[in-house]
């Protein structure tokens, strides 16, 4: 058995930034998916960096980011925040995420790994409409991702088995599980229930940061489904290129959220993927991401 509380504590440490200069913050890096920084980590930390520069406690209502380089988990990430606007309701921030690389002379070269523009606004009343929440089996009727791994671990190459079986920091229950080793071509549509239990009461900024963190799981893989390939397919090069997110309504990530995902096109080695987060019948956030999906011979 693994200690889930320890995983939650690591998540909270991920979004706990250190201010190193005015409007400059440092975030610790963790091994979530391998030697390159997990895109969800950078998204979460960038939201936190921007939120720390607000004079008022405003939730984020939209963000648009680009992953420019693969970051290293062996060094922290520096987030530089630029104030673009502070109006009576809307506040806009530009966040640049930086790591450093040494040249042959030992000089440290600044490299931008991610950039984001985010807008913040207080919750207020007004016109309200949404579509109905999709109907899927409830999480209580589904098997957890961790349990499902047990069915496939025997087909995973020996060098990858330990990492394959590592528990996620986010508890996930796929609605319609897919074979990760020998996938069949299918409609590029999938849904997961997810939550981060034992998180406790947290500020809106941390809730939004951790939802952004969670949104990077499975989304880019949706575009692979119609082609019958997965992240374990030999010769596949896959990565997130950009990520946008809109927050519509309050939510609690301690409780189950439905993450409904689909892809409507793949072309030129890229796939466009969409997602919606639902909780208690409410549409709480919308996500869109383009992913690189290049097959090498």
Active site residues: 216, 240, 289
> What is the SS3 assignment for 153?
helix
* All residues at 6 or more sequence positions from 87 whose CB lies less than 8 Å from its CB, including other chains: none
State the DSSP code for 168.
P
How many C-beta atoms surround the C-beta of residue 182 within 10 A?
Answer: 12
Strands (E), the chain: 18-21, 24-27, 60-67, 77-86, 91-102, 108-120, 171-174, 189-195, 236-240, 242-247, 257-267, 270-279, 282-295
Distance of alpha carbon 148 from alpha carbon 162, whole angstroms: 15
Token digits for 15? 């979004």
Buried b (16+ CB within 10 A) or exposed e, 238-276: bebbbbbbbbbeebbbbebbbbbbbbeebeeeebbbbbb
Token digits for 274? 């969409």
Rama region for 200: left / alpha / beta (φ>0; ψ in -120 to 50; rest)? left
What are the residues facing 194 on neighbouring strands? 172, 257
Query: Are residues 285 and 276 in contact, defined by beta-carbon separation less than 8 angstroms?
Result: yes
Whether the CA torsion 5, 8, 10, 16 is positive or negative: it is negative
């Amino acid at each position: 058995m693994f200690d889930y509380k320890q995983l939650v504590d690591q998540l909270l440490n991920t979004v706990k930034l250190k201010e190193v200069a005015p409007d400059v913050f440092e975030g610790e890096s963790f091994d979530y998916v391998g030697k390159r920084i997990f895109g969800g980590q950078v998204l979460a930390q960038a939201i936190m960096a921007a939120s720390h520069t607000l004079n008022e406690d405003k939730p984020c209502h939209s963000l648009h980011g680009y992953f420019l380089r693969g970051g290293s988990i062996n060094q922290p990430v520096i987030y530089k925040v630029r104030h673009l606007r502070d109006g009576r309701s809307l506040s806009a921030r530009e966040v640049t995420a930086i790591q450093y690389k040494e040249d042959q002379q030992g000089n440290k070269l600044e490299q931008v790994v991610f950039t984001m523009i985010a807008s913040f606004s207080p919750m207020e009343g007004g016109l309200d409409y949404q579509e109905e929440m999709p109907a899927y089996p409830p999480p209580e009727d589904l098997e957890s991702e961790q349990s499902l791994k047990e069915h496939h671990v025997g087909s995973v190459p020996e060098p990858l088995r330990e990492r394959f079986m590592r528990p996620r920091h986010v508890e996930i229950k796929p609605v319609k599980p897919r074979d990760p080793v020998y996938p069949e071509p299918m409609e590029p549509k999938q849904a997961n229930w997810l939550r981060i239990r034992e998180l406790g009461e947290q500020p809106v900024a941390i809730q939004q940061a951790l939802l952004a963190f969670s949104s990077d799981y499975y989304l880019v893989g949706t575009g692979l489904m119609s082609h019958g390939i997965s992240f374990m397919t030999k010769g596949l090069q896959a990565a997130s290129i950009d990520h946008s997110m809109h927050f519509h309504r309050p939510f609690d990530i301690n409780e189950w959220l439905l993450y409904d995902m689909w892809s409507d096109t793949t072309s030129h080695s890229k796939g466009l993927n969409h997602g919606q987060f639902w909780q208690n019948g409410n549409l709480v956030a919308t996500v869109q991401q383009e992913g690189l999906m290049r097959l090498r011979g």
